[in-house]
Structure 1
Amino acid sequence: MSALQILGDGDQNQEKRELEERVLKAQADESSGQREALLGEYRSYVIKIASRICKRNITIQDDEYSIALAGFNEAITQYRRSEPSSFLTFAYMVVQRRLADHYRREQKHQNQVPLIPPDSRENEPTHREVVAESFERYRERELAEVRRLEIQQFSQSLARVGISMNDLVKSSPKHRDTREDMLAIARKIAANEKWMEEFLHQKTTKKSFAEKVGCHRRTLKRHRVYLTALVLVLIEDLPLLRDYLGLPVEKKGGGLGAEGDCNEEKSATLCGADS
């Protein structure tokens, strides 16, 4: 079982499907005007995620905005219906990687690092099948890298509240109904800053708190580890996990900064427990 699977079952709503249909139409017919429409409609979204990734306010005058917008446009070109994430999550990942590449190039500029990486499509043979296969491998590597970084961040966030990935695996509910109930409670907690602070920073679950969120105290106590993980997904910058739960890509609350290390093999093998 993957880290995504531990937290629950994914869901796609009508709005996501309609957006993805527009993206596919933009790919299929450049004269449809869909690409230009999408770039215009989602300009504020691009600014918002670029500001979040860069950890400062980005404006349309900044180079980062141009890079982020180009990344969003690239996402429109690259997105496939078979992607494991929604289009906006996929676009977020592409923009994130493009900005990371930009900063790496800036840092290594004095060493004359080429702007075109060795595995760029521009260096591939022109045979169509070879290019297509190489491009798919490149996209798969990108997705795997973003997923790895997100699992690492999630592990660090859990560690800040005294939870390990192993704890999460052991405590994950087996029944879907229970997972859905916990997600509903997690959303209530994440939407209320005072409740969130109380829940994350108190070691015991009070009866008064359980009553506020509409759940029995024993139930909250039994599923506290799992519920904490869900709250962190809702407030942290974790678009893949949020998308898997059928939640908006953009976070709704303040994040808990985390430092530390993650045992990657352990994260990848989350895998053994039944949810």
Structure 2
Amino acid sequence: MWGERVLLVLWKKWFSSPGRPAVSPIAGDKPESVVERIQQGDDRLRDELIRSYHPFILKTTSRFCRRYVDPARDDAYSIALAAFDEAINRFLSDAGRSFLGFAETVIQRRLIDYARQEKKHSEVVPYSAFDTESADGDSAGNRLEVAQAMDAYARERTAEDRKAEIAALSEELSGYGITFGDLVDHSPRHRDSRIALLKVGRRLGEDERLCGMLRQKKQLPIKELCEGGDITRKTAERHRKYLVAVGLIAYGTYPFLREYIGLDHDGEEATS
């Protein structure tokens, strides 16, 4: 886990003021061109690029966490910093998307991984919980009681997190005139259709250009989504509301819903 020491090292490396030039060597340059120069070996620009996009990294992290993020204290911010650095190394200029769009996707993926890992740790019952004995020595009964309490807490926390995600998605969908009742009526019935539509919806959410068209115009870019040949225009129009919902889940910060609808494992919904 990223701790305070790692965060402070990153903070000092990327945001300390001593020695910083009065004029940024990347001022006026597009981030794509700066990243290309870094990848070609001009690594002195890396720290400057990260410093320059500190507000972007902070905004992306805060939006994911849905709260104010303190760069000097939050582990989530150190994860985002490392993800931005990872994006610099992995970005492909000929892939047809902007660097910032790619970096945002990488940051969100790493924060989702971090959130899942934190949740996993929080649900583990510590061994020390099983070492406590009651006054009459009934340690077995006490261990069972502790385990049951921890299990109930984990289920309650998961249910609350899911409820919060559903409420947030419901509010976002309302901007498109879509309700959860609509999704029931417009969801694909067959497994093959569901897998194909999930694939297209995921591409919609992860493609900055296509998702930008959806979010700005509040309209599904059907023509562009059908160009890959995964679905026909008729299918896309029939399941328009479903595709919008999947695209928003893939784009946004909905780890539970993402897992539930099967975005990360070939369209098989979770059963829990």
TM-score by length of 2: 0.48
Ranked by relative contact order (alpha carbons within 8 Å, sequence separation 6 or more), the top structure is 1
Larger Rg: 2
TM-score by length of 1: 0.48
